[in-house]
Structure 1
């Protein structure tokens, strides 16, 4: 019973709230069924299904807060977890930034559930592995990949009458294809809510072509180049940037959105006018829960509009302190773009470098969001609109803030997932003066 119905979840949560003697109590149930299959060296290595439900209970006596969790739901187990949370709260020091639980509200549902994804079977997972491995074997290529599908639910309630329940699904697929001698590498990834749109046979062809074409890469002198970043390559940098959209960090001088002398850059032109980022729980391509981790209602909210900072993100405490409205933390980021494919951007490029993927990205300077990382799995030199030859991978030092001021053109936004941290819609982008600092021998 890893996916509870709304009635089942509400019954358990109501019991928990009634058991508590604290000033306030919040209880949350999270459950999931996760199926997976992993393959490497053209053979399936592992496959399985993992299911679980957890109950987290948070109570407060004044400003003293305690939390306890359990995955058993008998009446005696519920009494134990409430008692434990209350014991911990009485032992805890007062939290000077305590903010009361969210008031009762009505949440507008978002379309986060797909019956097709929830119904994926072991046979279907095996077929994805077969469709990935068989064509690679036929062309003397080596495939390694991972498919994970998940159906889940979240339900929460508190002593102020707030309640929410919603189901969701998601599917993630990645596959790396190498040449038999290990000199060429290609990669493809898909993140979907509805698995019926997944076409592994066409996706594997992309990785296979890149693997074959990237062998015998030539060294190119590091420097500043026009680059085309595919959506997954761009998202790795952009996701870091949104860690610094917090209003408190900006107000306290700890962010690239801090102003010299105090204050933040709300309303200022920070990016190219073509840059717009929106958080939208009801986006058709990227729906997410209509509440955040604290049960606060999310809104459709522009974060950047035409290059200007439209909104910053306020924690409940900082919003209260600054006299601002509290909104739920975004669950997705949707970037505007155009209608061109990556191939279209390549055809229109006189000279440049195509980057399939960025990885091992690390922060260098938080206040400028200067990042360092590596390219991998297919990096190519472009000349007169054609991929002329593969090039050795690079280490880069670049800030997404500078990057988004050097836009030459934007492609069609694509759904990507940054390791579960954030759901994003990101376009391929052609950028001027991207900084490559050294070569990498990795493929």
Structure 2
């Protein structure tokens, strides 16, 4: 065990050796995950909770032919590991054949990514308290109510199989989220980084405060189809369903909204989407939970769908290599019209500016129409400036349609929501977006 108290590679090899040696099953796959760190929560301009946890979980999967079983344990003594293996065997022996079962991967080559930062691993309760205090003090001075979290976690993931597969990686993740609330308005920010030093809590807090102040005394305007400026977080929520529609199994079953469109343009030709695991602002990992290596690749190039996401079974069916699901998404465009959201606003005569969407749910999966609501900063832009906060809207729209009304965009920036993982996405100005009704708040 490392000096910091988290499992190291030697611990993983010991656990894997015991588990692999405890069974004569045809296939054995071992996954060890350990995590330690803390989260500080605050609300009503005071810290309400500090939680520090350390936990390790071992999952063992075995198979006899196509009958497989899986068991887990949080105890890593030799007897507990062998008992976990025995429970997995017992499940496998009574399980029906799985026609889609595939044995574990053989040994793989993995890229070396900057997934671990010492300063995040070393961040303790005092560092988190200091970050929370910045948000609390600034909101208190602005006569706003601060609520949110700041966290720092270190984790390790180790995979092993009786095929010779071995994978091990140390990872860190830090997060800051803040909602600044006034009497009739709110402002919101959220970000995740490998390094806690890169969170920039002060700047994020200033942004949340500014949004809460600008959206005070919101004006109500009629719903309808109108021009919008979507900040990166709003883009993250809105276009997320598009990435998940690239699943090859759904594509060939004709249940994907992009079925039959491989090699065709599906969004504006200025936009390209790729997986960028090496990007320092993203949280790409070297391998997924099955030991498949990550790689840098392009899914949509100049608006054209060029690649699907193949799970191992579907890849085998269609004679394709399996692909790593996008976990480090970067959407960028050719020749951005503005360097920032502020510049995009300055170039706009009239539009609705949206900070964030929430409670996004599918309406029609065949054309990717979704519904949701604006939240935590919705504004009217006129004459190149924000002139008023707006009462929030409900919307019904499809990224496949709206992204073909693209007018202008910025370089990609940090983008994350409460329901979507971290991405790098531009702010977008879209010529038409369907706001279906006005909400009551």
Band the TM-score falls in, shorter-chain normalisation: over 0.9
Q: 1:60 aligns with which of 59, 63, 70?
A: 63
TM-score, with normalisation over the residues of structure 2?
A: 0.96
For 2:21, what is the secondary structure of its paired residue?
Answer: helix
2:319 aligned with 1:316, yes or no?
no
The corresponding residue for 2:285 is: 289
Q: 2:84 aligns with which of 61, 65, 81?
A: 81
Counterparts of 2:104 and 2:324, CA distance in 1: 13
2:406 aligned with 1:407, yes or no?
yes
2:321 aligned with 1:325, yes or no?
yes
The corresponding residue for 1:432 is: 431
Counterparts of 1:415 and 1:381, CA distance in 2: 23
Counterparts of 2:165 and 2:417, CA distance in 1: 31
Per the TM alignment, residue 366 of structure 1 is displaced from its structure 2 partner at its CA by 0.7
Superposition pairs of residues 373-388 of structure 1, within 5 angstroms: 373-388=372-387
The corresponding residue for 2:152 is: 149
Deviation per CA, 1:27-84: give whole Å up to 9, x if none: 0100111311111111111111111100000111000010000011111111100010
The corresponding residue for 2:229 is: 228
Q: 2:38 aligns with which of 17, 35, 39?
A: 35
Counterparts of 2:276 and 2:18, CA distance in 1: 33
Deviation per CA, 1:257-299: give whole Å up to 9, x if none: 11xxxxx321111111111110132223224222112111222
Change (3 A) 1:159 1:419: farther
The size of the alignment, in residue pairs, is 435
Contact preservation (8 Å) 1:296, 1:328:
yes
The corresponding residue for 1:347 is: 346
Change (3 A) 1:161 1:419: farther
Per the TM alignment, residue 422 of structure 1 is displaced from its structure 2 partner at its CA by 3.2
The corresponding residue for 1:261 is: none
Per the TM alignment, residue 243 of structure 1 is displaced from its structure 2 partner at its CA by 1.8
Per the TM alignment, residue 329 of structure 1 is displaced from its structure 2 partner at its CA by 2.4
The corresponding residue for 1:99 is: 102
Counterparts of 2:78 and 2:234, CA distance in 1: 49
TM-score, with normalisation over the residues of structure 1?
A: 0.95
2:139 aligned with 1:136, yes or no?
yes
Contact preservation (8 Å) 2:169, 2:286:
no
Per the TM alignment, residue 163 of structure 1 is displaced from its structure 2 partner at its CA by 0.3
Deviation per CA, 1:354-403: give whole Å up to 9, x if none: 10111011110111110100001111111110101111110011111112
The corresponding residue for 1:161 is: 164
2:121 aligned with 1:118, yes or no?
yes
Counterparts of 1:416 and 1:226, CA distance in 2: 21
For 1:389, what is the secondary structure of its paired residue?
Answer: strand
Per the TM alignment, residue 419 of structure 1 is displaced from its structure 2 partner at its CA by 4.2
Counterparts of 1:395 and 1:206, CA distance in 2: 24
Contact preservation (8 Å) 1:275, 1:404:
no
Superposition pairs of residues 389-408 of structure 1, within 5 angstroms: 389-408=388-407
Instruction: Show structure 2 runs of 5+ residues with no match.
Output: none
Per the TM alignment, residue 6 of structure 1 is displaced from its structure 2 partner at its CA by 1.1
Aligned-residue RMSD, C-alpha: 1.4
2:178 aligned with 1:175, yes or no?
yes
